[in-house]
Structure 1
Amino acid sequence: MARVSQEHLDARRRQILDGAARCFARNGFHATSMQDVLKEVNLSAGAVYRYFSGKDELIAAIVNEVLAEIRGAFEDAARHTPPPLPDVLLGLVMTEVLGLGGTARHGLTWDGEASFPRLMVQVWTETLRDSELAGVLREGFGAVRQAWVKVVEGYQEAGLMRADVPAEHVARTLIAAAQGFAAQQALFGAAPVEVLQDGLRALMSMQAPR
């Protein structure tokens, strides 16, 4: 019997993850069954359960990939001296994460209108019920936050931002802007990333009255 190549195994895992992400984004976690996922990816139960034990493991794997994608984008930015300004940086990252710029670096593909924002909101809700998923999200958020902190420290070291405000506080604020924009996409309809960039650019232009 011919051995299955690692490339084939990786492609099959990718197929399952992408199909599950589409199902969850379309119908939500609770309304999606494993049978729905099997139908979406057109595979047998045995083929899918070889990679994932069930729906919870699929959800955790997708969440980890999204967080890795976000963290990687900001880690890349932190390597620049100085990093791109927040309006440019957030625009680049949100374009990549929302799937507007093609396939993500880790392979996860988002198709359909606002599928990632809808999935993200569902993950937030699910963490209130599922302590294990909440742990996955906390760990991933911590890694993302550290990547943002490095970006902010780059601004401060370059003299682009006041240094008397903790970088952690600025990082959390920037994360909130990105999360809020994604949540608006899920709740109120798609909007171009330029909307976020324009808003940030206007806020960055403010000066205290003399």
Structure 2
Amino acid sequence: MARVSQAHLDARRRQILDGAALCFARNGFHATSMQDVLKEVDLSAGAVYRYFSGKDELIGAIVGEVLGQVREAFEEAARSTPPPPPDRLVASVLGRVLAAKESLTVDGRPAFPGLVVQVWAETIRNEELSTLLREGYGAVRGAWARIVGEYQDAGMMRPDVPPEQVARTMMAAAMGFIAQQALFGPAPAHDLAAGLRALMSMGDDTGAR
């Protein structure tokens, strides 16, 4: 029997993940069955279950992949000295993640933001997914906090605010931007960068509080 190459295995796994993500984005997690996924990817049950045991594992894999992409992008930025300013950094990372998922559409509209919001809601019911999300966001927040430390060391940011607090705030801006896209439609990451840049331009005449 011919040996299946790793490239073939990776491509098959990619096919399953993309098909499942499209099904979830179109109909939601609970209304999507594994049969729907099998139909979408045009594979047998045996071929799909070789990679994933069911819907929960598929959801977890999709979430883990996205969080990994975000974390890697921030960690790459943290290796710059100093890192790009927050407005450019957040927009760059968001733009990269959204571009990687631009082929995921429902009725011609980007489906990824809505899928992200569904994941957030699903964590209320699914403890395993909730744990995965907490760990993933914790890693992203840690990368952000290191970047904030670089800003402060370089004199780019006031030093009296704990990096963890800044990291949470910047993550909130990114998450809110994704939620707005899910609710109100697509918007370029440049809009977020411009808004952050305007907020960053405000002076602080009151000093540290």
Residues 71 and 144 in structure 1, CA contact (< 8 A), matched pair in contact too = yes
What is the distance in 2 between the residues matched to 1:192 and 1:26? Answer: 22
What is the distance in 2 between the residues matched to 1:109 and 1:199? Answer: 23
1:111 aligns with 2:111: no
1:74 equivalent in structure 2: 74
**Counterpart of 2:150 in structure 1: which amino acid?**
G
Moved more, 17-26 or 66-75: 17-26
1:184 aligns with 2:177: no
Aligned-residue identity in percent: 68
1:2 equivalent in structure 2: 2
1:32 equivalent in structure 2: 32
1:143 pairs, out of 139, 143, 159, with 139
What is the distance in 1 between the residues matched to 2:30 and 2:92? Answer: 32
> 1:7: Cα distance to partner?
1.4
Q: Secondary structure at the match of 2:203?
A: coil
Q: How does 1:6-155 map to 2 (within 5 A)?
A: 6-99=6-99, 103=100, 110-112=103-105, 113-155=109-151
RMSD between superposed Cα atoms in Å: 1.3
Q: Structure 1 residues 30, 149: CA separation in 2 closer, same or farther (over 3 Å shift)?
A: same
What is the distance in 2 between the residues matched to 1:23 and 1:152? Answer: 38
TM-score normalized by structure 1? 0.93
**Counterpart of 1:95 in structure 2: which amino acid?**
G
Q: How many residues align?
A: 203
Residues 110 and 116 in structure 1, CA contact (< 8 A), matched pair in contact too = no
Unmatched tracts of structure 1, length 5 or more: none
1:197 aligns with 2:193: yes
Unmatched tracts of structure 2, length 5 or more: none
What is the distance in 2 between the residues matched to 1:196 and 1:114? Answer: 18
**Counterpart of 1:29 in structure 2: which amino acid?**
F
